[in-house]
């Protein structure tokens, strides 16, 4: 059984962290364009794809050009109440990331894949492992302390966030995760 985790970049020229988690063994890389993301994900034959990007618009919005509606989703509000900072999916550079995430989600779902929205920073807080801002080595060690192997020598925060996403997917499948906000469109984080 494989799980794919993606730390999606807002644009193709920036690296996207990619992880295939098999059991607790991580296979990782950095990729860039949607074609690579799609091909590597499909080749992995995942049970679930966990993406660090907004995968849905706030209620009432038909598209990102509609600036009159809500900027926050139910899931965003839930995380803010928990003290976990988020960026609204409809503002600034998040708009490109949101559109890319929505498009990839729709593509994968049309091919029968289960897709969830993961938030690695929030998960790292709940799992009590250091976020990347405290140092890549500390984040890698925190993931290794969870039992994840295959991380030796990784110096990319994008890859380590992708590993965290894949781990969130694993916890979701094991019923050890919570969906915050709308049950079908919410953000998935580990249970406390």
33 contacts: CB under 8 Å, gap ≥ 6: 12
Residue 66 has pLDDT above 80, yes or no: no
- Alpha helix stretches (DSSP H) within the chain: 34-44, 74-81, 94-110, 120-127, 136-145, 157-173
Per-residue pLDDT averaged across 29-34, rounded?
96
What is residue 175's predicted lDDT score, i.e. its pLDDT? 97
CA atoms of 84 and 133, how far apart (whole Å): 15
What is residue 168's predicted lDDT score, i.e. its pLDDT? 98
What does the mean pLDDT of the chain come to? 94
Residue 144 has pLDDT above 90, yes or no: yes
Per-residue model confidence as pLDDT tens digits over 76-118: 999 999 988 888 899 888 999 999 999 999 999 999 999 999 9
- Report the candidate in 11, 10, 106 with the shortest Cα–Cα distance to residue 49: 106
CATH number listed for the domain at residues 2-190:
3.30.420.140
Global pTM reads 0.95
What share of the chain in percent tops pLDDT 70?
A: 100
Contact 21, 45 (CB under 8 A): no
CA atoms of 67 and 142, how far apart (whole Å): 40
| pLDDT band (50, 70, 90) for residue 65 | confident
């Amino acid at each position: 059984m494989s799980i794919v985790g993606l730390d999606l970049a807002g644009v193709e020229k920036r690296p996207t962290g990619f992880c295939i988690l098999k059991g607790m063994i991580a296979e990782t890389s950095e990729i860039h364009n949607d074609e690579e993301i799609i091909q590597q994900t499909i080749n992995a034959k995942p049970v679930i794809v966990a993406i660090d990007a907004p995968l849905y618009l706030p209620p009432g919005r038909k598209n990102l050009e509609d600036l009159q509606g809500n900027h926050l989703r139910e899931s965003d509000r839930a995380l803010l109440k928990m003290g976990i900072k988020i960026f609204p999916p409809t503002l600034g550079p998040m708009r490109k990331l949101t559109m890319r995430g929505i498009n990839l989600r729709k593509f994968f779902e049309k091919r029968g894949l289960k897709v969830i929205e993961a938030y690695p920073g929030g998960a790292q807080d709940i799992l009590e492992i250091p976020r990347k801002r405290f140092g890549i080595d500390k984040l890698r060690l925190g993931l290794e302390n969870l039992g994840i192997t295959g991380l030796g020598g990784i110096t990319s925060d994008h890859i380590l966030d992708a590993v965290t996403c894949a781990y969130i997917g694993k916890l979701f499948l094991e019923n050890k995760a919570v969906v915050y906000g709308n049950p079908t469109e919410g953000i998935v984080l580990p249970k406390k």
